[in-house]
Amino acid sequence: MKPLTLMDEEEVYGLFNNDLVLQSYPVKPIDTREQTPAFIRRITTDGCWSWKITPLEGSDLIGICSLHHLDEVNKTIEIGGTLLPQYWGKGVMGSAFEIIIERAQMDFKVEKVIGRTLSSNIQAIQLVKKLGFELVSAGGSETVLAKPLV
């Protein structure tokens, strides 16, 4: 994994315009190619850290994972990620999440990582549960899970 940059614009646009990927989002994150640089800046600055996920061999972006909404008072941070459908169910996102959870604990001294997803995103819910996240709330369209780190 490497930090996401503006050099990844074309691949990020493709990722967030994949019909299967978009099923996990209540609103399309990027409507036009011209919006992609602003989107990348938003998810890589001002308390957001994002990495591109690449295959072991190669440098093509196959997904991204992020840490955001650092709460230094409550020592929490949120985690998120998106992966191209052909890599779903292969352990890729789980491995990426393990790496950035460790980074969150070491770099930001957080005591809890929070995951939010659409309640209909069963695959994401199952993934974070495998990583030790526990259900916090499931109301309406959003499910919130948390993983204590201490």
Q: Give CA–CA dist 150/92, Å, rounded.
A: 25
Q: How many CA atoms lie within 13 A of 104 on its CB side?
A: 34
**What gap in Å lies between CA 97 and CA 92, rounded to an integer?**
9
Q: Tell me if 42 sits within 8 A of 35, measured CB to CB.
A: no
For residue 44, what pLDDT is reported? 94
What is the DSSP secondary structure assignment for residue 19, as one 8-state letter? Answer: H
Residue keyed to tokens 């659409």: 118
For residue 138, the tally of other CB atoms under 10 A from its CB is 12
First-to-last alpha carbon distance for the chain, in angstroms, is: 25
With beta carbons less than 8 A apart as the criterion, state whether 62 and 53 touch: yes
Q: What is the pTM (predicted TM-score) of this model?
A: 0.90
pLDDT of 93: 94
What pLDDT digit, counting tens, does each position of 79-121 carry?
A: 999 999 999 999 999 999 999 999 999 999 999 999 999 888 8
Average pLDDT over the chain reads: 92
The 10s digit of each residue's pLDDT in 37-66 is 999 999 999 889 999 999 877 778 999 999
